[in-house]
């Protein structure tokens, strides 16, 4: 899979882009204000061992403050990012990317199902998604936010600041 596109041509690109845009609009100001780190859109994440060029392009890539040295002109090199966010379309290869990210010591892989808006968080060293708390929340310690699905019709992804729940968005 080294670097090839992993999108279903029948996917709903408009909905994918809407979710992505709303996540950027919410997360970027939060991460800047809290000085947590840098959020990048659609950049290469390289695995630099082995003979073949091997990389993935997550929807969003987060590098924590103090680790900016891994951000290069062509993507992330010399270590994994702290978190990646993937918006998953039906039948895409999102889950096949998790071992790649784990090999780079990415702390969190956050997956949002495009249609159902159900979030999942995989943490380094775990092959299973984290379990949500009793209210359905999943905490991203890397980003300082939490995620959950609001199951009304239509379903929505709720993201809120972990330290101030009044700062939130429904996508």
Chain-centroid distance of CA 142 in Å reads: 11
- What structural domains does the chain harbor? 13-132 (3.90.1570.10)
Per-residue pLDDT of the chain (171 residues; tens, 9 = 90+): 455 444 445 567 999 999 999 999 999 999 999 999 999 999 999 998 776 789 999 999 999 999 999 999 999 999 999 999 999 998 899 999 999 999 999 999 999 999 999 999 999 776 668 899 999 999 999 999 999 999 988 999 999 999 999 999 999
DSSP-derived 3-state class of residue 32: helix
Q: Are strands 108-113 and 83-88 parallel, antiparallel or unpaired?
A: parallel
Structure token pair of residue 44: 């290469």
Q: Kindly report the pTM of this predicted structure.
A: 0.90
């Amino acid at each position: 899979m080294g670097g090839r596109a992993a999108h279903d041509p029948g996917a709903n690109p408009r909905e994918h882009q809407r979710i992505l845009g709303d996540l950027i609009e919410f997360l970027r100001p939060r991460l800047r204000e809290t000085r947590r780190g840098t959020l990048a859109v659609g950049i290469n994440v390289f695995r630099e061992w082995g003979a073949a060029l091997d990389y993935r392009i997550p929807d969003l890539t987060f590098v924590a403050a103090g680790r900016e040295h891994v951000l290069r002109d062509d993507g992330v090199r010399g270590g994994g990012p702290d978190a990646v966010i993937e918006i998953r379309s039906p039948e895409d290869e999102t889950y096949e990317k998790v071992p790649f990210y784990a090999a780079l010591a990415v702390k969190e892989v956050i997956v949002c199902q495009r249609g159902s808006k159900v979030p999942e968080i995989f943490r380094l060293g775990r092959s299973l998604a984290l379990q949500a708390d009793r209210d359905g929340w999943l905490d991203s310690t890397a980003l300082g936010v939490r995620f959950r699905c609001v199951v009304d019709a239509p379903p929505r992804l709720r993201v809120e600041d972990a330290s101030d729940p009044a700062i939130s968005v429904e996508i």
